[in-house]
């Protein structure tokens, strides 16, 4: 059982919805990023999504694109991202970390070498948005064999014919993308999300967590009320990008977490 599996089992036992926070590793710099990440569990975050900076983040909107560029400009790399996770693990051995990004840096590192490094750094799961199920032998299956969850995205355009294939080797949880488009592009609507979550749950027993378009405690609560939890990324990253003090960023995160947990 991974930390992700254990976390969702504990939340289910408590009858509680999950709150997942995304931040870009190394944004705006390594030290500040580490301070934010270390503060997330205390702000109510159940699972941390750690963004892996990449030059061509095709699923991400301007806010997260800018964060990735700031991190890259500051010298952030795959190895530095894993170093940040390893530093986090020095003081927290229970909060799950999901590394979210694109396949190119992993491919460049080499899959086996990357998986060894990721496990050693305390990474629990992967979201690699540009690897479809047809490429499961490339990374998904090796990752699961190495003990990491491989978390798949489902979207409004994932139809009933496609959905079982998408779920086939997914583990940890399912990330439902609430909108068609890039991160931060539109607001999620619970009335639209609810039937989609039900459709996914008809083909999997995994928790379904909803992300994209959630930017306030009220929205976090509304979305979590029709799913197993909510993910917020762009709204948090935007605070960091605006140069807000770490304490203010974490206060904002706390409100979002309280919203999801109150659902």
pLDDT classification of 26: cutoffs 50, 70, 90 = very high
CATH, residue 256 = 3.20.20.70
Answer whether 214's CB lies under 8 Å from 191's CB: no
Q: What is residue 181's predicted lDDT score, i.e. its pLDDT?
A: 62
Q: Is the pLDDT of residue 195 over 80?
A: yes
Q: Is the dihedral angle over the CA atoms 34, 38, 44, 50 positive or is it negative?
A: positive
Residues 49, 136, 196, 228: which is the catalytic one?
A: 49
For residues 189, 44, 92 and 71, what is the CA-based torsion angle, rounded to 10 degrees? Answer: 50
Residues 5, 27, 60, 136: which is the catalytic one?
A: 60
Number of domains composing the chain: 1
* Domain hosting residue 14, numbered range: 3-261
What is the token pair recorded at 228? 């197993």
Tell me if residue 35 is catalytic. no
Q: What is residue 109's predicted lDDT score, i.e. its pLDDT?
A: 98
Q: Is the pLDDT of residue 183 over 80?
A: no
pLDDT classification of 213: cutoffs 50, 70, 90 = confident
User: pTM for the whole thing?
Assistant: 0.96
Tell me if residue 159 is catalytic. no
pLDDT tens digits, one per residue of 10-24: 999 999 999 999 999
């Amino acid at each position: 059982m991974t930390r992700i599996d254990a976390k969702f089992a504990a939340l289910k036992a408590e009858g509680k919805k999950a709150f997942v926070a995304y931040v870009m590793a190394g944004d705006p710099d390594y030290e500040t990023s580490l301070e934010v990440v270390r503060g997330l569990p205390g702000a109510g975050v159940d699972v941390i999504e750690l963004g892996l900076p990449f030059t061509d983040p095709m699923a991400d909107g301007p806010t997260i694109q800018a964060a990735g560029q700031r991190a890259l400009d500051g010298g952030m790399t795959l190895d530095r991202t894993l170093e940040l996770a390893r530093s986090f693990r020095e003081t927290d051995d229970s909060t799950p970390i999901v590394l979210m990004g694109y396949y190119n840096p992993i491919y460049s590192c080499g899959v086996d070498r990357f998986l060894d490094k990721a496990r050693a750094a305390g990474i629990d799961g992967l979201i690699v948005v540009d690897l479809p199920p047809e490429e499961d032998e490339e990374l998904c299956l090796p990752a699961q064999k190495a003990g990491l969850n491989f978390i798949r995205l489902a979207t409004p355009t994932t139809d009933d014919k496609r959905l079982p294939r998408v779920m086939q080797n997914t583990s940890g949880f399912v990330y439902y993308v609430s909108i068609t488009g890039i991160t931060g592009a539109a607001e999620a609507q619970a009335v639209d999300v609810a039937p989609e979550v039900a459709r996914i749950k008809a083909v999997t027993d995994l928790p379904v967590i909803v992300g994209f378009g959630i930017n306030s405690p009220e929205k976090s609560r509304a979305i979590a009320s029709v799913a197993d939890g909510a993910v917020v990324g762009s709204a948090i990253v935007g605070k960091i990008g605006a140069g807000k003090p770490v304490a203010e960023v974490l206060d904002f995160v706390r409100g979002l977490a309280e919203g999801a947990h109150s659902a």
